[in-house]
């Protein structure tokens, strides 16, 4: 079964996804991390996406979906995946549904990490990643509101959304996520 971890930039998706993936033996698929690796290794895809990451804008859906489709085709059918930072637009969510269908896979649920804006900015400023300047941070938060909040609503309507508070320590948030997945798997939510 596959799972999605969504939330605003700075919500702690990367850290939490790594821990969850280790705990449940899921493949951790972070589209942002894959793009950063392509840029680092100067691949053709890296050259195409670099300026979007530099500006804090979204990479066009076509490129993102090609990457995700490729990654999923390589997954053994019984190997679950945890997606982090994907889908980020409604189109991505819709096409992803088809990709899963084609491959006979099923989405367990969409974990939604919720963190207040002030806390987000504080965390992003302290992170020091190459694409974390005050300008890109502002831009990414705006893009999130415009493009990604509709994705939250999309999964809410499908009954797949599992909201979890992302405030507090890494351990606290981890345990909340574990509970949310367990409740869903055991049919309590
Ligand atoms: P992240 O590491 O998830 O914060 O992603 C870093 C950057 O990669 C984003 O600001 C976007 O430029 C790009 N990116 C990552 N995932 C996606 C996606 N699903 N759709 C569009 N752009 C993405």
pLDDT in tens, the chain (189 residues): 999 999 999 999 999 999 999 999 999 999 999 999 999 999 999 999 999 999 889 999 999 999 999 999 999 999 999 999 999 999 999 999 999 999 999 999 999 999 998 899 888 888 777 778 888 888 899 999 999 999 999 999 999 999 999 999 999 999 999 999 999 999 888
Could you tell me if 82 and 6 are in contact, meaning their C-beta atoms sit under 8 angstroms apart? no
Atom of ligand 1 at shortest distance to CA of 35? 8
- CA–centroid distance, 78 to ligand 1, in Å, is 27
Which H helix or E strand runs over 111? Answer: strand 107-114
Q: Kindly report the protein residue whose alpha carbon is nearest to atom 13 of ligand 1.
A: 32
Q: In which residue are the tokens 């850290």 written?
A: 15
* Binding site membership of 85 for ligand 1 (Cβ less than 6 Å): yes
Whole-number Å distance between alpha carbons of 181 and 189:
9
Query: Under the phi-then-psi rule, with left for phi > 0, alpha for psi from -120 to 50, and beta for the rest, what region is 168?
Result: left
Could you tell me if 104 and 77 are in contact, meaning their C-beta atoms sit under 8 angstroms apart? yes
Whole-number Å distance between alpha carbons of 175 and 189:
17
């Amino acid at each position: 079964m596959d799972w999605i971890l969504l939330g605003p930039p700075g919500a702690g998706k990367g850290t939490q996804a790594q821990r969850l993936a280790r705990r449940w033996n899921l493949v951790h698929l972070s589209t942002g991390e894959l793009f950063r690796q392509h840029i680092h290794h100067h691949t053709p895809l890296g050259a195409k996406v670099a300026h979007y990451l530099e500006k804090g804008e979204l990479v066009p859906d076509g490129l993102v979906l090609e990457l995700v489709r490729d990654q999923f085709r390589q997954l053994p059918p019984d190997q679950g995946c945890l997606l982090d930072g994907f889908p980020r637009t409604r189109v991505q969510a819709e096409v992803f549904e088809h990709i899963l269908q084609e491959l006979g896979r099923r989405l367990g649920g969409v974990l939604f990490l919720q963190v207040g804006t002030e806390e987000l900015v504080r965390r992003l400023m302290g992170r020091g990643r190459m694409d974390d300047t005050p300008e890109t941070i502002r831009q990414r938060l705006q893009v999130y509101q415009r493009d990604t909040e509709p994705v939250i609503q999309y999964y809410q309507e499908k009954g797949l959304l599992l909201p979890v508070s992302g405030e507090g320590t890494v351990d606290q948030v981890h345990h909340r996520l574990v509970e949310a997945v367990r409740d869903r798997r055991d049919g309590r939510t």
